[in-house]
Amino acid sequence: MILRNVCLIDGTGRVRERVAIRIDGDHIAGIAETEIARADEENLDLRGKTVVPGFINCHVHLCLDSSPDPTSAWMRRSITENVLIAGRHAESTLKAGVTTVRDLGGREGIDLGLKKAIDEGVIQGPRMLVSGQVLCMTGGHGHFMGREVDGPDEVRKGAREQLKAGADVIKVMATGGVMTPGVEPGSAQLTYEEIRAAVEEAQKAGKLTATHAQGTTGIKNAVRAGIDSIEHGFFWILRR
């Protein structure tokens, strides 16, 4: 297939007007500044359209929907329903032009299984980096979907479990959050020592780390522990 007369943003800083792009299966086989259409090939005139590299969404939860209370909706559904909904979200994400996602928290292994199904061509979806279960303190933010851990040794065990299951990113909960009832969103939860234990286990396995961290103390604990990415962080920003 040939995409004709298309504007191409190729990710190098260049904007190439009216190029022709040859598609071979699911790969780009060639790009030319001049017409390369042939009579024996299907071609589309995309004058006025733009082709860009695939987008990357660095924080998703494909198991969740966009309702006002997605966690409650998730809890009401069966595992079968949640798997099917996650698969539908993966497909719609890819169709929207997002070709890579970082899924930072799944339940019942759905994110791990979804990644495998996509990699094996069972369903369509973006490339996935997954975290498996988030690591949180007992009763902490995300406890309904996470692995509750208390103390550095339990954190190490929890991190090793996620790595064994196939996690690409170890995610810890450094503070509370707005979607867990009875939890103060900005308060610190896992300690510096606990977060450091998770970071060490991830680093030994050559994996990255991420933390849900909204308040100042939790953010500082995570940064000092060597975390790779801070997710959210808005209370610190608001109070500067």
Residues 162 and 211 grouped into a single domain: yes
Domain match, 38 and 96 both = no
List the CATH number of the domain containing 94.
3.20.20.140
Question: Cβ–Cβ contacts within 10 Å for residue 174, how many?
Answer: 32
Q: Are 107 and 82 in contact (CB under 8 A)?
A: yes
Both 68 and 31 in a single domain? Answer: no
Q: In tens digits, what is the pLDDT along the chain, a chain of 240 residues? A: 889 899 999 889 889 998 999 998 888 888 988 766 566 778 889 999 999 999 999 999 999 888 888 888 888 899 999 999 999 999 999 999 999 999 999 989 999 999 999 999 999 999 999 999 999 999 999 999 999 999 999 999 999 999 999 999 999 999 999 888 899 999 999 999 999 999 999 999 999 999 999 999 999 999 999 999 999 998 865 555
Domain end call among 25, 51, 77: 51
- Which residues neighbour 227 within 8 Å (Cβ) at sequence distance 6 or greater? 172, 174, 195, 199, 209, 210, 211, 213
Say whether both 115 and 7 belong to one domain.
no
Domain of residue 82 covers: 55-238
Domain tally, the chain: 2
pTM: 0.89
